[in-house]
Structure 1
């Protein structure tokens, strides 16, 4: 697996766990919407989707090191990733999902795959 794909695994690792508890798209939005305003800010998005990163970072150094990755996904191009880089990649995905470019994700945008 290419190194560029590995951080995306971190991103999407949190999605199924959140989705299994959501009966509807609106419930799914509430999983992200920590301030309850009915929309998801970049910080809320990053915080929710960093949960998997934080669980993987067993030594708490802010970096998912090679020995912290699931061995099944480690390949010759796998590289450690910092929380800052992970959050930067989440910001890229957020911007692609924010179709109306208002700086927030609504129910429709959050439920749609990133473009």
Structure 2
């Protein structure tokens, strides 16, 4: 009886959490899906995640130099990074997230951590 009660409570709590996660993931997809086709292409993924790069590149030279990094994240292995290298790294992550290898990320793939 106690086990059934715990399972019932867990089920009741998980439904709203699952719905909230789905709504959040759907919103997340909309941020990336610039053409509104319900999926995210490599270009859309790179463009969205390069927005922060462009904000960090204060001098606009296409490279985030050491002095443009937040001092809190600069460590001994921190190196300047070019936009081209940043986008190449994003392509690697995209390929790992594209589990079904169709060249796009759907809502489930986009919301899951890369493998």
Note the alpha carbon deviations across 1:63-91, whole angstroms, 9 max, x for none. Answer: 00000001111112211000000000000
In 1, Cα distance between equivalents of 2:77 and 2:29: 34
In 2, Cα distance between equivalents of 1:58 and 1:39: 31
Q: Once the 2 structures are TM-superposed, how far is the Cα of residue 111 of structure 1 from its aligned partner?
A: 0.3
TM-score, normalised by the number of residues in structure 1: 0.79
4+ residue runs of structure 1 moved beyond 6 angstroms? Answer: none
Number of aligned residues = 94
Match in the other structure for 1:89: 89
TM-score, normalised by the number of residues in structure 2: 0.79
In 2, Cα distance between equivalents of 1:38 and 1:74: 37
Note the alpha carbon deviations across 1:32-63, whole angstroms, 9 max, x for none. Answer: 00000000000000000011100000000000
Gaps of 5+ in 1: 1-22
Give yes or no for the alignment of 1:71 onto 2:105: no
Match in the other structure for 2:29: 29
Secondary structure of 1:58 counterpart: coil
Give yes or no for the alignment of 1:43 onto 2:43: yes
In 2, Cα distance between equivalents of 1:33 and 1:78: 31
Gaps of 5+ in 2: 1-22
Secondary structure of 2:59 counterpart: coil
CA RMSD of aligned residues (A): 1.2
Q: Once the 2 structures are TM-superposed, how far is the Cα of residue 27 of structure 1 from its aligned partner?
A: 1.2
Match in the other structure for 1:56: 56
